A = this chain, B = another copy of it.
Amino acid sequence: MKVYSFRPVAPEDQALICRHRVEMFRASGRDEAVLAEMDGPFGEWLRPRLASGAYFGWLGLAADDEVVAGIGMMVIDWPPHPSHPTQSARGYILNVFVEPDHRGRGLASALMDLAMEEARRRGLDHMILHATRMGRPLYETLGWSQTSEMGLSLREGGLMTKLR
């Protein structure tokens, strides 16, 4: 049985986080062409936020110190809402990824624990995330539930295409 350790993400993890995001969406069946399109702009978006700490998170390391899992987090501006009536922010969890060989060993759950601990430390009243099919059962176990969010794509020349 492997023993895992954890550390916070740092600016040097830029390329790794980009890879985790692509792998996460790939595992959920997203189109390769769109992932290739996203990769560069996501990296540009990430760099200053990783440097400033606006994007933070943790990595899971195997016994040989290889990074095998990761989670990202942000505190995003949001209008005060019945779920956080006196706060104009909510926590957002993203880029949850575990390498296939290391799945089913509690890594995602341990990373979620680190994120929730930080959410409590920051006094956040409300958290959101977008679940992949793979992630949903874990989040449900941890007490998360479906919201009423709906989406609409305006890509492809204004044609209304279904979100997935």
* Mask: chain A, 132-164; 1 = CB below 8 Å from B; 0 = not: 100010010011111111111111001010111
A83 to B156, CA, bound (A): 11
Inter-subunit contact B41/A88 (CB<8 Å): yes
A154 to B124, CA, bound (A): 7
How often does this chain occur in the complex, in copies?
2
Inter-subunit contact A79/B37 (CB<8 Å): no
A133 → B minimal CB distance (Å):
8
A83 to B153, CA, bound (A): 7
Inter-subunit contact A149/B152 (CB<8 Å): no
Residues of B within 8 A of A155 (CB): 83-84, 125-126
* Mask: chain A, 89-112; 1 = CB below 8 Å from B; 0 = not: 000001000000000000000000
Q: Which among A80, A85, A150, A164 has the greatest number of chain B C-beta atoms within 10 A?
A: A150
A94 to B126, CA, bound (A): 18
Q: Which among A124, A132, A144 has the greatest number of chain B C-beta atoms within 10 A?
A: A144
Known: A126-B155, A153-B125, A158-B120. A79 touches B45 (CB 8 A): yes
